[in-house]
A and B are shown apart, each in its own frame.
Chain A
Amino acid sequence: MIIAGWVVMIVGAVVVLLLPQVSSPYVLFVATEVLLYVPLAIGQNLITGNTGVLSMGHAALYGVGAYTTGVLVSHIAIGVPLTLLASAGAAALVGLGVSLTTQRIRGDYLFIVTIGLNFIFLDVVNNSTWSGAATGLFAIAPPAGGLLAVTTPARFFYLSLGVAALCVLISLAILRSRFGRAMEAVRDDPLVAATMGLKEVPIKAGIFGVAGAMAGLSGCVLAYFLGSVGPQDFNSNISLLIFEMVIIGGLGSVSGSVLGAIVLIAVPEFLRSVQEYSLGIGGVLIVVMMVLRPEGVLGSWRTAR
């Protein structure tokens, strides 16, 4: 069994690595898109699945990353690695700030407040000159030379793959460490967690920071990938889509996040006939999953407060 598992993993890895050589440009495009959503779904899952915070503002963190890249590229020529770092840092700071300001707000109210985050983000970028207002920023091109010169679709694919793999690894490592248990303790029973010295505020803020950084990385790659950023790329529907990914993929599971991204991005892309309905089909799935087996999906969530 274990050997079979390894074989599957290795074959999978080889297929993924060779994808740019063997697939059509369209398939490669879709695969890159899926990979861009992996860090987003993973971050959302750390927040919602593992730490138990209902948050619906992930697109705003994504947008902060993308706009940071857009602004940086049009002002100073720093390489891709530094831009990635700066975008991750900016989104992490915003995530941290959001978590710290909303700590005292109760679970289901927080849900609505974080939807507001999307609207606040859009208000800001739509009304500022540095963000190009409603038209957004254009001609975001990575430098041609240098260490990470992402200029071809294949290179974009590898860059997204690298970022997604990094986020998977970080997430697994966090969950395997004692902080993974600490997050779950805060989720399952904050009071007991407190009596053991676990501090809810910094734990939640830290997770928002980590998830923000992941979203920022994705945003940066997206900005390069599209060559432009605009308000329409980060509206509340994107947040809803990311939220759907972790519910459908499985709360609290890293592989579930990846699965959710594949199901909600790749499947609708390839089944053109259902693409128009994908958000709604996801919605039906969510209702069915909740009604049939709420505990199965939510695990041992005990947010009875």
Chain B
Amino acid sequence: MATETLGGRLVVQNICVNYGAFRALDGVSIEVAPGSITGVIGPNGSGKTTLINAITGIQAASGTIRLDGQVLGRRSVPRRAELGLARTFQAIRLFQSMSILDNIMLGAHRLMRAGLFESVLRTPRSRREIARRRARAEVLMSVFGPRLLPRMHQLAVNLSYANRRRVEICRAFMAEPLLLLLDEPMAGMNPFETQELSEQLPELQKLVPTSILLVEHKMDVINALCSHVYVLDHGVCIIEGDPRTVQSDPAVVEAYLGVE
């Protein structure tokens, strides 16, 4: 079930995003190595979400974005998803009227081979495919212990905040993406849950080999998970490097930690 080859190298060069006259990203370049967890930190409003929106195609940007050498250019949001991008949202966005399982299964849409007719007629091939994905969904859910599995037929709207986050993360992993973009997955979680999730993310990554771009506020999470981190401030990348070096840099202390 693993992804075919170890791909998922993201190269972002010199991208700029304007909201009217306001420049939210100003020549940012980052790189995510295959299989890595690369961090992005920065104070509120520094452009982290904007960066993810630009990479996923939600926000138009100038500059170049390449995934495994392929230029994303003007490709639409769904096209980029098909190429292997998946993401979560800072403000969780689940399909409220659907069950947990349905939400997670939708994540696998890009992988499903059975077309409209086969799915509607429920041919043996489409049934097998669904059974396989469903088993996969259960494996992913089981990473969170008893938090999701027993509730998988409940409506997403009834879940606790932390559980909705977990569902959204499972949904993104279900796509077996080359690159996964996580926008503050720990936001709103208590220290215990945060700790738990920073152990579970590498576990999920082992099940679904993918590169991860992790936007996060909490420094200890970055320290624990990331080998490399970029610091954004006012739409500019002020420094990059390994988390410990970056953290002690005076510019970061002033721009980021000073604000906190």
Contact = CB atoms under 8 A, between A and B. Distances in A.
B120 A188 contact: no
A173 B130 CA distance: 15
Given A173-B121, A194-B76, A206 B97 contact: no
Interface in B82-104: 82, 85-87, 89, 93, 95-98, 102
Contacts of B45: none
Interface residues of A, number: 24
Contacts of A302: 96
Chain B interface size range:
20 to 34
A244 interface: no
Contacts, number: 82
B106 A179 contact: no
B86 A178 contact: no
A178, A184, A206, most chain B CB atoms within 10 A:
A178
B195 to A, nearest CB: 28
B130 A192 contact: no
Interface string B72-87: 0000111001100111
Interface string A188-222: 11011011111100000010000000000000000
B76 A197 contact: no
A106 interface: no
Interface string B106-142: 1101101000100111100000001000000000000
A170 interface: yes
Contact of A199 (B78, B89, B96, B120): B78
A128 interface: no
B219 interface: no
Nearest to A199: B78
A181 B98 contact: yes
Chain A contact residues, majority secondary structure: helix
Contacts of A196: 78, 81, 86, 106-107, 109-110, 171, 175
Contact of B77 (A170, A188, A189, A194): A194
A24 interface: no
Contact of A188 (B81, B97, B112, B122): B97
A80 B191 CA distance: 69
A197 B175 contact: yes
A299 to B, nearest CB: 6
A188 B110 contact: no
Nearest to A189: B93
Given A194-B76, A197-B82, A197-B109, A206 B121 contact: no
21 contacts: A170-B120, A173-B121, A177-B116, A178-B106, A178-B119, A179-B116, A181-B98, A181-B105, A191-B58, A191-B77, A192-B89, A194-B76, A194-B81, A195-B56, A196-B81, A196-B171, A196-B175, A197-B82, A197-B110, A300-B95, A300-B157
Q: Which 4 pairs show the lowest CB-CB distances between chains A and B?
A: A197-B81, A300-B97, A197-B110, A194-B77
Interface of A: 170, 173-174, 177-179, 181-182, 184-185, 188-189, 191-192, 194-199, 206, 299-300, 302
